[in-house]
Chains A and B, each alone.
Chain A
Amino acid sequence: MSENRLDTAAIATRYQKAWFAETAQRARDGQPIALVNADAPHEVLRAMGIPYVVNQWWASIISAKRLGPASLERLVALGLPDFSQQYDAIPLGAQDLPVEQRAWGGLPEPAFAIAERSGDVTQKIFELWGEREGTETFLLSRTGADPVPSAWWEKVPHDWEDAFGADRLDLLQAEIEELVTWLSERTGRTLDRDRLAQIMDLGNQQVEWNRRTRDLIATARPTPVLVNDTMPAVMVPQWHRGTQWAVDTARALHDEVAHRIDEGVAVCADERRRLMWVGRGLWSDLDMYRRFHEEFGAVFVWSMYLAIAADGYPRYGDDPVRALAARFVGFTDQLYVPPWSAQWYVKEALAHGVDGVVHLVADDTPGAGFISEALEAEGIPVLEIRANNADSRSSGSARIPERIEEFLRERVPARA
């Protein structure tokens, strides 16, 4: 099936490798880099010229290299848990692996570790980064999703004050300003707000291409791309959000998908079942997504990565810092907080015409039952699997492929 792989995904992956090598070298040469959580306001770092590595992306690389278990064992050796928030914690453990075992040569020690205080544990993991030689930690507040007006995807681009509430925005906006001051004190650099506004604009342009791509795939029959291809094709540019390269790559993805549709390309020649993958990517076994093509004609047509890139990030406004606060104040809420999450997954499932949903329920996602319930209420069967996406020990014991096969046989009839 290699002929079905997206050129954009391969190009993005190559770019990312080269970018990481260059960034790592710069860090080894003494330039500060940052390790940031996915929900932190990256655009500030870009505007201040501080390269950053996203913790979850780095965890996915470590996991894909099958180094997750070894990384978790390092945590245990330090008296830390290996059973908690593994996706966030794996990079911390990987940092102490022998050099020859490190993914892509390893992450140089970051100067800054930046995260929001989501959940009970993320802040503690990032605090531990700050205890390492040469690294300092900055933590942002993470407020609860209240209020939650309906149909967030319609509100967040422009009406974010209404979507999230001014109090939450005030707090995060102020803390972003504190982060800017903190970074300025340590680097001597200042924030060019015009530059930040340009970065926000480029981010919005990227979103607009992602939206077009998502909408193309939603209506295409048969599906022209593999979800495990769109994941890197979307997420690598996501971590370069605010650059012209990211906009160009988002456009290239769109054009490639459109071309495939025009050419009648099908990743699963005999498409009889369209599946949706709700939850984080199964980084330790990405080939799993193709495993059901031949026997079942079942193809995953949706994962959250392209869809949230399309709906989750757009923020238009005159004040770039407040717009940035609006981008991140409720980012995780959009994906995981009911009723927002359930409404959105239903909207996406219906738009993509899926026949079944595999719902990977991670240990830090609330209200998963409401998502499954809402999808089932639309007549869409759901398979819930509780496992950690990045920890192959957990996903292995969950028997994911076997359970999907059972699900397809028993609950997802083939289309005529």
Chain B
Amino acid sequence: MQSAHNLPGFGGGRAQDRPRIGVVGADLPRQIVLAADAVPVRLFGSWSGAVSLRASELLGAVDAVAGRILDAILAGDHDDLAGLVICNDSQANLRMFYVLRVLAERGEVPFPVQLLDAPRGPGTAKRAFVVAQYARLVEFCRAVTGAEVGFDDLRRAGDAEQSVVVALERLRERRVQSRCTGVSALNAYRTAACSAPEVAVAAIDDAQVSTGEGDRIFVTGSAHPDSRVYQVLESTGATIVAEDHDTGDGGWFAACTTGDSAADILAGLASLHADRPPSAARGTTAERVTALRRKVIETRGAAVMALVRDLDDAPAWELAAVREALDTLRVPFVSRTRITAEEASSASSDVVNALAVREGAYG
């Protein structure tokens, strides 16, 4: 294991002294922010807690997690940020960008807000658009940090982030080997996505909690912004071995690449983005089910669960196809839709009760 203090350096000061750039959503390649000698800090929100009337009215009917993030921003919880990048990776996040753009112009939030609009998938035109978006992101980071972002900066940031990629691979392997619970993995992802690479690697490698012989569960459906539901599930003895949502294994934040120029690196990142696993909100159901099926087999998931939050509708449209695909694998599947904050725990318990894991699912 590589220790944190041996990581390649990528910037000047200590992590705690660097500017912090907030991130809403899962499309940001941190390499760009790190190259500006800033620390990317993903804002996750949570399963529980009220959403204020103001946030609800500003965002309209969207996943409550977005409402909670907006509430935290409006309450000043993130006023230390130098800037905020919002990804167009879901309707809720795009709406948050539109709202915060207006509020930032009015001076109601103390930092500038930038959209990162990165349609996923193949195609030369799409790739060129994403590269242009990354170039805008470079300019944004330069503007908020004052740091130049050249080839050497991108290369050094990529080297540092590569250590996170490797640590994440170790984490995923430990989960498959029952050496890391879903709760500890999810918490590690949360910490890593809010930290400089050296801190991220340490947090990821700290996630080592032996699991029992309980049911091996794969999680799809809504992303889990915190480990609340995972705790309920794993308290029964089950283990969540993997997931496809973007706050867990489906996350992409540590993507990094090399090249002979800054333009090469941005193009390389766009290529990685094009080929990454699909998200519920932006991928097709066919892409999602294909990816899920492969991951369930790879991780030896014995059952699959999906909790879909109220107003996070994209996963709900996938459930019929997921069920059909898992039937062919003889893997049990339990889902609940339109889950509210109040229902999160009881819905998780329901899922536990409903899961009747059959032995020899792949026999």
Contacts and interface: CB of A to CB of B under 8 A. Distances in A.
Dominant SS at the A interface? loop
B315 to A, nearest CB: 9
Contact of B317 (A80, A141, A175, A367): A80
Interface in A73-122: 78-81, 83-85, 117, 119-121
A146 B316 CA distance: 29
Contacts of A144: 88, 94, 97, 115, 117
B129 A366 contact: no
A231 to B, nearest CB: 23
Contact of A338 (B98, B126, B286): B98
A382 to B, nearest CB: 12
B90 interface: yes
Contacts of B313: 81, 83-85, 120-121
B314 A124 contact: yes
Interface stretch (B57-65, B187-195, B234-242): B57-65
Nearest to B58: A369
Contact of A178 (B60, B123, B133, B318): B123
B61 A363 contact: yes
Contact of B284 (A124, A148, A337, A368): A124
A174 B323 contact: no
A167 B323 CA distance: 39
B149 to A, nearest CB: 19
Interface string B274-295: 0000001110111000000000
A367 B61 contact: no
A120 B285 contact: no
A143 interface: yes
Contacts of A174: 123-125
Interface residues of B, number: 45
A184 interface: no
Nearest to A140: B119
Interface of B: 54, 57-61, 88, 90-91, 94-95, 97-99, 101-102, 115, 117, 119, 123-126, 128-129, 132-133, 280-282, 284-286, 311-314, 316-320, 323, 337-338
28 contacts: A78-B320, A79-B320, A83-B338, A84-B316, A120-B90, A120-B280, A121-B313, A124-B314, A125-B317, A127-B285, A141-B126, A143-B129, A144-B94, A167-B133, A168-B129, A171-B126, A171-B128, A174-B124, A338-B98, A338-B101, A364-B60, A364-B61, A364-B91, A366-B59, A366-B60, A366-B91, A366-B98, A369-B58
Interface of A: 78-81, 83-85, 117, 119-121, 123-125, 127-128, 139, 141-146, 148, 167-168, 170-171, 174-175, 178, 337-339, 361, 363-370, 386
